[in-house]
Structure 1
Amino acid sequence: MKSLWHKSLILSLITIFFLASFLPLNRAEAAQDSLNIEADAAILVEAKTGKILYQKNIDTVLGIASMTKMMTEYLLLEAIKEKRVKWDQEYTVSDYVYKISQNRKLSNVPLRKDGKYTVRELYEAMAIYSANGATVAIAEIVAGSEENFVKMMNEKAEQLGLKDYKFVNATGLNNRDLQGLHPAGSDENAENVMSARAVATLAYHLLNEYPEILETASIPKKTFREGTDDEIKMDNWNWMLPGLVYSYEGVDGIKTGYTEFAGYCFTGTAERNGIRFITVVMNAKTDGKGTYKARFEETRKLLDYGFSNYSMKELYPAGYQIKGKSTLPVTKGKEKSVQIETKKPLSVVVKNGQEKSWEPIYVIDKKKLTKEGELTAPVKKGEKVGYMTVKYKGEDDYGYLTSEGEKAVQVDLVVSKDVEKANWFVLTIRGIGGLFSDVWTSVAKTVKGWF
């Protein structure tokens, strides 16, 4: 009887230990799913730094549909910046673009076979109405052919540090929708794919390098070729824009997407009270079923969470000094040390109540110091000697999209005042004093050794 009791006790303890070993994992999973985002993948990012605030399956490779057009926009805006393309230059419609643009089952503005269109007209049709024929036209303008453009897309993705991606066309359509004219090198049923992290990273670069995209992406309605026989009303597919069905305060971009393969997708952005967020939802659903409104409902959850829980706060003012760590020794100077401080304020996206979860850290530029770790006089006030960054000590630290974004969370460390070089007499006296000090130290050690 006693033996049976011991066996039961041991079995109970083993069971408790086994279940307890899963508790941290379950807590982590619960934290990840706290927003109940109904999508195959989702991410919430602070737009200035690329700080990830929420993530769900962000490294899973999925279809992206017309969110592809963000890369097409990037390459066009880059070409315009480099003056390889001009907004007012005209494009003559190719046979391929003509065929694609006539398919009204797809999002399109029909283009005349003998028509000429400006780059800006085509860009607006793509950015507002997701017009696929216009998108292929832009690819031809920038690269000569869609095939060449797709090579540029993949090369640019690599340059931007994206991972988990593959572009097979400029539009995001399934290749089969391109009527046998899809770019060579990919399957006839292939589609563009990316991870949510990669999509968010692309959006981050697009917004920070070409913020003017929002001027067009935020237009809820516009008429293509207004006042002509070819005029077509273009309603923005982003129904979260002000005045549209799922209007959300602050939303001004960026790109929706849908194919049967990708499901309902959306890369959104919104700004309020000095903070901007980027969101991505992929294959969004309502009650397990993909619906048009699902991508906006799930995006709303992400934005509500972001704006309710986070704000951009100045944690450290200009002239800030870490106690006990803000002095650097100086050699050959009239003074033997100098104070260092931050040149500008340092602001960080902070979750409510977690201001004290951040720790300031100095990173001194070793190239500025001697082998003994000293600055060499003369030293000028305002001279940069390193930078101050911060380390988050709280929970759920998902990191940043890019190393460049992480660098945005740092400010220069500078010298607080001039330190002039000491004259030869002072340096000589110091040298003599140092010599006697060394001799005295040596003698003291010798005498101590006698005893």
Structure 2
Amino acid sequence: MKHRIKASVYLILVLVILVTSFGMNPLAVHAAEVEVEAESAILVDAETGQILYAKNADLKLPPASMTKMMTEYLVLEAIGNGEISWDTTTQISDYPYSISANTSMSGIGLTQGQDYTVRQLYEGMSIISDNATTIALAELIAGSEGEFVQMMNDKAEEMGLPEYQFVNSTGLSNADLGDNYPEGTDPNADNLMSARSAALLAYYLVNDYPEALEFSSTLMSELDEQPLENLNWMLPWDNVNFDQYAFAGIDGLKTGYTTEAGYTFTATAEVDGRRLISVVMKTDSQGARFEETKKIMEYGYNQFEKQELYPAGFQIEDESTIPVAKGKEDTVEIETSEAMIATVLNGEEESFMVQYHLDENKLNEDGELVAPIEKGEKIGEMELVYNGGTDYGYIFDGAQVQVVDLLATDAVEKANWFMLTLGAVGDFFSGIFSSVADTVKGWFA
């Protein structure tokens, strides 16, 4: 027994020595281990678009009411363009009225023949995920939900969402709408999005229209004297039943549930000036979507840190100058236009390097810049290269690298014709001398 104890102690000592000797960071090793119990999930830095975690992130699934993020975006865009205002009023047509009367479809009982403002309808959509108010807004903006769905798909293409299919404004299955399914869509179709697409949609929503967070973080409101209670249990409720889900900094964004989709949630939080966006899709229960979101958010904030890896004006040693042809100067210095910032996993600060990519259109066949060159002229880009563990890239379609501009630090004027002629003559005689020297060497070889 004593021998076993001694062996265990020796083994622990060996492990400690190995960790110390090789500079390993136990926290960094642990940081890579996060298990999210959802069919699909993703975690994204809301400033840079850097993906910090992904699980089946490209799998297309029914998003349920997370679909409404696109409806919210288009409503806010219409307000921003002056097409409507928060005080614009509309009335409820037969279609959304029938939905509002159906409690199984999140109906809150709207009244026909009554004016509702855009703000009232938006609150119903954002706070309690009401379907009828969502449809009413779609009809107001586009004339019909069918036309609005076309706008949704066009905007998704413009945003570069990689995997999506919008067939209605709410996130319900078209089959649930019966004869009211939007014109131009399949009566049995469902909305589809991947976690990556949902995160990218949320990225544009919170960055282009941060006022969306004022609504998504509202705990309570009312419509027609009916309470609107937010479905997000991670907000700062004074409710002991929600304490286990609470997460400081959460201020949105959209819950969802249908039988086909399961329980979904796109969340966003801001802590110490850092905003993250997470998506979990197809979790098992209403509480599970918040538990898994809390887990992934804690991972993002505890295991990653936003760092300036390379300052503005940075130069790679021995690559800070570029040769210049036909200029009054033979070289010009280059430097970065701005700092290069990344969200870094604990212990991986040394896992980054950079490399230059010069603009080939500005170089001659000898790899020289051709004068004249203006001070501050863009010469190329510097790319951040990650050599650590799993690289999830960035949320943007096709953009898997982070770059900043390389600028010329000074102007280089074009040499006058006399100096250019002297240079050409010098090159000519230099070429002749080299040729003669090679010939003479050949005689005595």
* Counterpart for residue 372 of structure 1: 366
Taking the aligned partners of 2:155 and 2:102, their CA distance within structure 1 comes to: 29
Which residues of 2 match residues 34-53 of structure 1 at below 5 A? Answer: 34-53=33-52
Deviation at 1:364, TM superposition (A): 1.0
Secondary structure of 1:318's counterpart equals coil
- Kindly indicate whether residue 317 of structure 2 is the aligned counterpart of residue 318 of structure 1: no
Shift of 1:264: 0.8
CA distance in 1, matches of 2:304, 2:265: 22
Quick one: which of 356, 378, 383 aligns to 1:362? 356
- Partner residue in 2 for 1:208: 207
**Deviation (angstroms), 1:378:** 2.9
> Any idea what the Cα deviations from partners look like across 1:100-142, whole Å, max 9, x if unmatched?
1222333233221101112222112111111111000111012
Instruction: Tell me whether 1:444 sits opposite 2:444 in the alignment.
Output: no
2:235 corresponding residue in structure 1:
241
SS at match of 2:286: coil
| Of 392, 397, 420, the match for 2:413 | 420
Rounded Cα–Cα distance in structure 1 between residues aligned with 2:184 and 2:30? 42
Deviation at 1:403, TM superposition (A): 4.4
Which residue among 316, 321, 329 is the counterpart of 1:335? Answer: 329
> Alpha carbon RMSD of aligned pairs, Å?
2.2
* More displaced stretch, 89-98 vs 157-166: 157-166
1:304 aligned partner: 298
Letter of the aligned partner of 1:444 in structure 2? A
Structure 2 contact 324–371 (Cα < 8 Å) conserved = yes
Distance 1:404 1:242, change over 3 A: farther
Whether contact under 8 Å (2:257, 2:263) holds in the other structure is yes
Give matches, 1:27-66, under 5 Å: 34-66=33-65
Contact 2:31 2:345 in 1 (8 A): no
Corresponding residue of 1:13: none
Residue 27 of structure 1 aligns with which residue?
none
TM-score normalised by L of structure 1: 0.85
Partner of 2:386: 392
Q: Displacement of 1:339 after TM fit?
A: 0.9
Superposed displacement of residue 190, structure 1: 3.9
| Maintained 8 Å contact 1:108/1:129 | no
Conservation of the 8 A alpha-carbon contact between 1:50 and 1:405: no
Partner of 1:20: none
**Alignment partner of 1:63: what SS?**
coil
Letter in 2 for 1:419: V
Match of 1:7 in 2: none
d(CA) in 1 for partners of 2:432, 2:80: 67
User: How far off is 1:448 after superposition?
Assistant: 2.1
CA contact (8 A) 2:41 2:56 kept: yes
1:312 counterpart letter in structure 2? K
**Cα contact 1:168–1:192 (8 A) shared by 2:** yes
Tell me the alpha carbon deviations over residues 191-238 of structure 1, each in whole angstroms, 9 at most, x when there is no partner.
Answer: 3222222222222222233233222222222223xxxxx222211111
Higher mean displacement: 163-172 or 331-340: 163-172
Q: Is the 8 A contact 2:31 2:303 kept in 1?
A: no
Work out the CA distance in 1 between the residues paired with 2:349 and 2:33: 22
- For residue 161 of structure 2, give the secondary structure of its aligned residue in structure 1: coil
Name the SS of the counterpart of 2:256 in structure 1. strand
With over 3 angstroms needed to count, the CA separation of the structure-2 counterparts of 1:342 and 1:62, relative to structure 1, is same
Picking from 337, 340, 349, the partner of 2:343 is 349
2-side partners of 1:44 and 1:115: how far apart? 42
Q: Which amino acid aligns with 1:446?
A: T
Supply the distance in 1 between the matched residues of 2:416 and 2:183 (Cα, whole angstroms).
74
What residue is the counterpart of 1:72 in the other structure?
71
Alpha-carbon distance between aligned partners in 2 of 1:344 and 1:414, rounded to the nearest angstrom: 10
Larger CA deviation: 428-437 vs 134-143? 428-437
C-alpha contact (below 8 Å) 2:31/2:299 kept by paired residues: no
Distance (Å, rounded) in 1 between the aligned partners of 2:114 and 2:156? 33
Instruction: Assess, with a 3 A threshold, how the Cα gap between structure 1 residues 406 and 435 changes in structure 2: closer, same or farther.
Output: same
CA distance in 1: counterparts of 2:40 and 2:31, whole angstroms? 11
Q: CA deviation at 1:274?
A: 3.0
5 Å matches for 1:221-240?
A: 221-224=220-223, 230-240=224-234
Matched letter for residue 98 of structure 1: Y
Deviates more, 1:47-56 or 1:295-304: 47-56
Structure 2 distance, partners of 1:275, 1:176, is: 41
Which whole-Å CA distance do the structure 1 matches of 2:429 and 2:184 have between them?
Answer: 79
- Residue 82 of structure 2 is matched in structure 1 by 83
Deviates more, 1:158-167 or 1:382-391: 158-167
Question: What SS does the corresponding residue of 2:104 show, helix, strand or coil?
Answer: coil
- How many residue pairs are counted as aligned between the two chains? 411
Paired letter, 2:150: K
Distance 1:68 1:279, change over 3 A: same
CA distance in 2 between counterparts of 1:357 and 1:93 reads 57
Q: Deviations over 1:347-396 (max 9, x none)?
A: 11111111111111111112222333222223232221111120111111
Q: Is the 8 A contact 1:71 1:202 kept in 2?
A: yes
Equivalent position SS for 1:202? helix
Structure 1 residues 367, 403: closer, same or farther in 2, change over 3 A? farther
1:113 corresponds in structure 2 to: 112
Question: Runs of 5+ in structure 1 lacking a partner?
Answer: 1-29, 225-229, 285-289
Match for residue 269 of structure 2?
Answer: 270
Using the TM superposition, give the Cα deviation of residue 345 of structure 1 relative to its aligned residue in structure 2, in angstroms: 1.0
* In 1: Cα distance, 2:397 partner to 2:193 partner: 20
For 1:124, what is the secondary structure of its paired residue? helix
User: Counterparts of 2:228 and 2:398 in 1: how far apart (Å)?
Assistant: 36
- Are residues 32 and 102 of structure 1, via their aligned partners in 2, closer, same or farther at CA, if it must alter by over 3 Å? farther
